[in-house]
Amino acid sequence: MFYDIHCHILPGIDDGARDMDESIQMALLAEQDNIEIAVATPHHIPRSNLSGKREIEDLVTKINRTITKNKIQLTVVSGQENKITDDLLDSIKKEDSLLIGSSNYILVEAPFIDFPDYIHETLSDLLDQNIRPILAHPERNSLIQQDLRLLEKLKDKGILIQSNTGSFIGHYGNKSVTAVKTMLKENMVDVVASDAHTSTGIRVPNMSKGFKIIQKLAGENKAFQLTSENPHNIILGNSIP
Ligand SMILES: [Fe+2]
């Protein structure tokens, strides 16, 4: 069984599923791929009206009801993919930014082209409050691709690193492939997720392809840890070393 902590499966809320039909197609693909739980993580910018708490919780209730009606074996849990801004902690306290389910983990996203200093400060502030950030797909950031020591600094603080299955497959270009393979080799990846956006094309819910590639590169135990054990513990709110 796989556990997918990064998935844009909610209908009509961001650049993921267009409507409930597409959400259900994505749920079917997830079921066929042996995904047991998917965390819905619409893009969210603190203080914006995009993907608010109430809207997400309503959609999670609706999608789970529709999934059950269609006899699909999948559970959707609430979350967000939060842009890292200097007021993120404040936004969490106001319940504008959501954690993953009822855990103390939060999925956060850095910019794609730079890596400003406030990111380190913001993430340290979260850790001080016992909130553990999970940085989404840093292998896609061009500065990190050039210098993985940036990531080491974050890891040393206790920040978890989530890579995309698509980065191993090559969906985001050669630089992401090289970065993610080096990160895997150097034990910098804590969890792998689909970051699925659609029911067709390359960005569909798909953990098994990532599992197979990691199995070849780093062995079955590592592949199991990154696609099943660690993401399951994150959803359950258990600690990850
Ligand atoms: Fe995403």
How many Cβ atoms are within 10 Å of 148's Cβ, its own excluded? 16
Q: How far is the CA of 168 from the centre of ligand 1 (A)?
A: 16
**For residue 107, what is the enclosing H or E element?**
strand 105-109
Q: Which residues partner with 76 through β-bridges?
A: 38
Helix (DSSP H) and strand (DSSP E) numbers for the chain:
11, 9
What pairs with residue 43 in β-bridges? Answer: 81
CA 181 to ligand 1 center in whole angstroms: 20
Tokens for 175, please give them.
């630089």
In the three-class reduction of DSSP (H, G, I as helix; E, B as strand; rest coil), residue 29 is classed as helix
Instruction: Note the pTM of the prediction, 2 decimals.
Output: 0.96
How far away, in angstroms, is 81 Cα from ligand 1 center?
6
Q: How far is the CA of 15 from the centre of ligand 1 (A)?
A: 9
Distance 41 CA to ligand 1 centre (A): 7
Neighbours of ion ligand 1 (CB under 5 A): 81, 195
The confidence score (pLDDT) of residue 14 equals: 93
Cα 222 to averaged position of ligand 1 atoms, centre (Å): 23
Q: pLDDT-derived band of residue 46, with 50, 70 and 90 as boundaries?
A: confident
Task: Tell me the helix, strand and coil percentages in the chain, rounded to 5.
Answer: 45, 15, 40
Give the count of alpha carbons within 13 A of 54, CB side only. Answer: 2
**Structure tokens that stand for 104 in this block:** 């103390």
Q: Does domain 2-236 bear CATH number 3.20.20.140? A: yes
Tell me which DSSP letter residue 227 carries: I
User: What are the tens digits of pLDDT across the range 143-180?
Assistant: 999 999 999 999 999 999 999 999 999 999 999 999 99
Cβ-based neighbours of 92, under 8 Å, separated by 6 or more: 99, 106, 126, 129, 131
Q: Which residue has the higher pLDDT, 9 or 115?
A: 9
The full set of domain ranges for the chain reads: 2-236
Considering only CA atoms, which of 36, 136, 59, 54 is closest in space to residue 98? 54
Measured in Å, residue 153 CA sits from the centre of ligand 1 at 23
What pLDDT sits at residue 198?
97
pLDDT at 73: 98
pLDDT reading at 48 higher than 80? no
Whether residue 49 is predicted with pLDDT greater than 80 in this model: the reply is: no
Rounded Cα–Cα distance for residues 160 and 163 (Å): 10
pLDDT score for 47: 77
If pLDDT is split at 50, 70 and 90, which confidence band does 90 have?
A: very high
- The pLDDT tens digits of the residues spanning 64-80 come to 999 999 999 999 999 99
Residue 186 Cα, ligand 1 centroid: separation in angstroms?
A: 24
Task: Out of 17-31, 87-101, 215-229, pick the least confident.
Answer: 87-101
Distance CA 140, CA 45 (A): 19
Residues 169 and 182: their CA atoms lie apart, in Å, by 14
